[in-house]
Amino acid sequence: MILLLPAVAEAHPGGSDTGLMTGLMHPVFGPDHLLAMISVGVVSVQLGGHNIWRIPGAFVGAMVAGAVLGIQQVTLPYTELGIAASVLVLGMGIVFAHRRMSPWPITALIAAFGALHGYAHGVEIPRSVSPALYTLGFLISTSVLHIFGMLIGEVATMQNWLWKGLRFTGAAVTVSGVAFLLQSFSGTA
């Protein structure tokens, strides 16, 4: 289904809405973006308290800064490696995160990942679309994915076996992150 979504991104042909629809669908294209963004929501629930809005807020806020650099075509090296690493680290976050952890280093790290994801979206902006609407589109889409992650985290708190299952899912996300890293290494070699 994800592979078919690029066609949907071209849904409203012509006009300024093309940028919004393209931006809305962009984070859903890549499994690395998708996994990272859902994981951010899950980890924010696992850390609890104000982290539920602070961590996704940091990610989305940093995405804007990264997107500006990307749209300006500023060269940032190793972004694909960083994005792959974000999946690995966030997967580990799902496995190990708990409420007594200090949230600030995690928030800073997740903000850095957000900047990398934002840069990747910004640098891939199609020439024919409005940068503002395109950015608005992928910010909304990212926020929706964070919320889906939060809902997954919330449902997992209802039963102990679901919580354990979530930790195993985190391990699977970590393995995916390793695969993305290997793919990035082979791409840069």
Of 40 and 84, which has the nearer Cβ to other proteins? 40
Of 114 and 149, which has the nearer Cβ to other proteins? 149
Burial of 4 (0-12, 13-18, 19+ CB in 10 A): exposed
| Interface with other proteins, residue 124, by CB under 8 A | no
Let me know how long the chain is: 189
Sign of CA dihedral 98, 170, 115, 24: negative
| Interface with other proteins, residue 53, by CB under 8 A | yes
| Residue type (1 letter), 57 | G
Residue from 66, 1, 61 nearest 28 by CA = 1
41 neighbors 27 (Cβ within 8 angstroms)? no
Tokens standing for residue 40: 């951010």
Of 11 and 108, which has the nearer Cβ to other proteins? 11
Of 116 and 139, which has the nearer Cβ to other proteins? 139
| Interface with other proteins, residue 159, by CB under 8 A | no
Of 53 and 168, which has the nearer Cβ to other proteins? 53
| Interface with other proteins, residue 140, by CB under 8 A | yes
Residue with tokens 């929501």: 41
| Interface with other proteins, residue 154, by CB under 8 A | yes
x-or-dash string of contact with other proteins, 1-30, rule CB under 8 A:
x--xx-xxxxxxxxxxx--xx--xx-----
Segment interacting with other proteins (CB under 8 A) among 90-98, 101-109, 135-143, 166-174: 135-143
Distance CA 127, CA 89 (A): 33
Neighbours of 19 (CB within 10 A): 22
What is the binding site for other proteins (CB under 8 A)?
1, 4-5, 7-17, 20-21, 24-25, 45, 48-50, 52-53, 133, 136, 140, 143-144, 147, 150-151, 154
